[in-house]
Amino acid sequence: MDARREEIERMAKIYMEYLNGPIGKGVLGRLEEGEEFSIKTQSEIMRVKKKDGKAVVEVEPMPSDNFSKNKYELF
């Protein structure tokens, strides 16, 4: 696994831990089951979806990025 992919997976894991913990309840509590929102950065799009009452984070590179167009999912 390359360093950039490891960084992306680490970032997704941190967001999931935050959103599924006590501090993230305010955000997750406002989402309906299946509802999602996206956070776009310069090089990635992070999609957060409420599934089975928990946050699921998917990170994918921006189309203009040199990454492959694979989606990185963590559950």
pLDDT of residue 57: 92
The pLDDT mean for the chain works out to 83
**pLDDT per residue over 39-67, tens digit each?**
998 888 999 999 999 999 988 877 764 54
10 to 15, 26, 75: CA distances (angstroms): 9, 23, 12
Question: What is the CA 24 to chain-centroid distance, rounded?
Answer: 13
19: pLDDT strictly greater than 80: yes
Reported pTM: 0.72
Domain boundaries, the chain: 3-74
